[in-house]
Amino acid sequence: MLASTKDSELLDPALSGDDLLYRLFHEDGVRIFEPTDLRPSCRCSPARAERILAQLPADELPGLAVDNALIVTCEFCNAYYTFTLDQFDQDQTA
């Protein structure tokens, strides 16, 4: 349906986006929601990183360690969290 729009419709300052949507999709029903602000943010934390490592099998952790350190890097915000293997040996035997 969007391909049926004309340049004059897309560039017409008197035609609101809501009206254009209604023209194109009125048969399907058009619902327009209140806009929400998008903010880049990350939900990573040391506790989340630790939970991820704790869910891995204990025998796999040494293979992931570099100099007895487990480093988890958040691919979204690039934060990194460092843990020791000893930390998980204690947590998993408790």
For residue 51, what is the domain's CATH number? 3.90.1280.10
Q: Where are the alpha helices (DSSP H) in the chain?
A: 7-11, 17-25, 46-55, 61-64, 85-93
Per-residue pLDDT, 19: 87
Per-residue pLDDT, 90: 56
pTM: 0.54
Q: Residue 29 belongs to what domain range?
A: 1-36
**pLDDT score of 92 more than 70:** no
Domain-located, residue 41: no
Domain count, the chain: 2
Q: What is the pLDDT of residues 16-38, one digit of tens each?
A: 888 888 888 888 888 888 989 98
Q: What is the pLDDT of residues 34-77, one digit of tens each?
A: 989 988 889 999 999 999 999 999 899 999 999 989 999 999 99
Q: Can you tell me the distance from the alpha carbon of 80 to that of 58, in angstroms, rounded to the nearest whole number?
A: 21
Domain-located, residue 23: yes
